[in-house]
A and B are shown apart, each in its own frame.
Chain A
Amino acid sequence: MFSLPTLLYLSAFLFSVGIYGVLARRNILVVLMSLELMLNAVNIALVSFGRVHALTAFSGEHGGQIFTLMVLAVAAAEASIGLSLLLVIWRRWRSIDLRQLCQLNG
C-alpha cells in the first residue's frame, strides 16, 4: 500500500482536486489555495521519485527534496504576490469575485 504507485495516485488525485478548485471556484482566495494544493501534489510526486531513486538519481541523493524546497520557495513568493494583488483588488473594487474582474476584455 505504501508504495510508489500509491503515492503517485495520491499526488494525481490531489492535483486534480486542485484543478477542480481553480476551475470551479469564484473566490480568488480559494483559487489561490487550490494552487497551493496543486503545488503540494507535485511535491509529493517529487519526493517519492527522489526517495525511490535516491541511490541512482543523477541529481544526487536528495535531488527530489531539494527540488521540493525550491517549489516551496516559489510557493511562498507566489502566495505573497498573489495575496498582495488580491489586497489591491479588494481595495479598489471591494470584491474578491474572479468573474467580476473582466475589464481586460478586448
Chain B
Amino acid sequence: MSPGIEQLFFGIAAVVATVSSMLVVTRRNPIYSAMFLIVMFAAVSVIFMLLDATFLGFMQLLVYAGAIMVLYLFVIMLINPREGDLPEESGATEKSFAAGVSLLIFSMLSFAISHSNEVERLSALGSIPLLPEVSDSHGTIRAFGLELFHNHLLVFELTSILILVGIIGAVHLASRRKNNVPHNLTNAAEGVVSQDV
C-alpha cells in the first residue's frame, strides 16, 4: 500500500473515530450511542490494520464490534427503556464542568506529546517520520501467535482466568433469583436514611 493511500485511509478513519466518539457521548438514546460506538470501533480497527496489526484489527472487529457491542444491544433490548425511563440528562453546569476536566486532560496529554523527546526525535528525522520497516509476516496470526504463546504465555493464562471470573460473575449476578423483588428506589433510600446515626 502506497504511503499516499495510507495517509488517506488514516485521515478518514481518524475523522470517523473522532466524530463518532463525540456522537457516542452526546446521543440521548443509548441505541444510537451503541451504533456510533460500533462505527468508532470499526474506525479504530482500520487504524490497527494500517499499523500492520492485521490480526489485532480483526480481533477488534470480532470482539468489540461483534461480541461486546452485541452484549450491549442485548441488554438494551432486555431492559427496553422507554423514553420516560431514560434518565434526565445533566444540566449545563455539570456538562461544562465535565467538559472542562476532559479538556484539561486533553491539553495536558497534548502538551506531553508535543514536548516528549520521542516526538522531538522523530520530527527531527524529516518531514514525514514514517514507521520502521518490518517483515511481511508482522502482525499476522502466525507471528503474533508464536510470540504470544512463547513469551507471554503466563499473561495469556491469567487473562483466561480473568475472563472465567467475569463469566461466573456475570452469570451469578444476572441470574434471576426469587428475592429480587423490584423496590421503590425512594422508599429504599428513605429506609437507609432512617437508619442513619
Contact = CB atoms under 8 A, between A and B. Distances in A.
State the main secondary structure of chain B at its contact with A.
Answer: helix
Contacts, number: 275
A96 B78 CA distance: 13
18 contacts: A3-B128, A7-B47, A8-B119, A10-B14, A12-B106, A23-B101, A43-B48, A44-B48, A47-B53, A60-B151, A83-B72, A84-B170, A84-B173, A92-B182, A94-B85, A95-B85, A96-B79, A103-B189
Interface of B: 3, 6-7, 10-11, 14, 17-18, 21-22, 24-25, 27, 30, 33-34, 37, 40-41, 44, 47-48, 50-53, 55-56, 59-60, 63-64, 67-68, 71-72, 75-76, 78-79, 81, 85-90, 94-95, 97-99, 101-103, 105-106, 109-110, 113-114, 118-119, 122-123, 128-132, 134, 138-139, 143-144, 147-148, 151-152, 155, 159-160, 162-163, 165-167, 169-171, 173-174, 176, 180, 182-185, 188-189, 192
A42 to B, nearest CB: 11
B155 A77 contact: no
Nearest to A48: B51
Nearest to A49: B118
Contacts of A76: 63, 67-68, 163, 166
A12 B75 contact: no
A78 to B, nearest CB: 8
A92 B60 contact: no
A10 B51 CA distance: 14
Interface string A1-44: 11111111110111111111101111101101110110010011
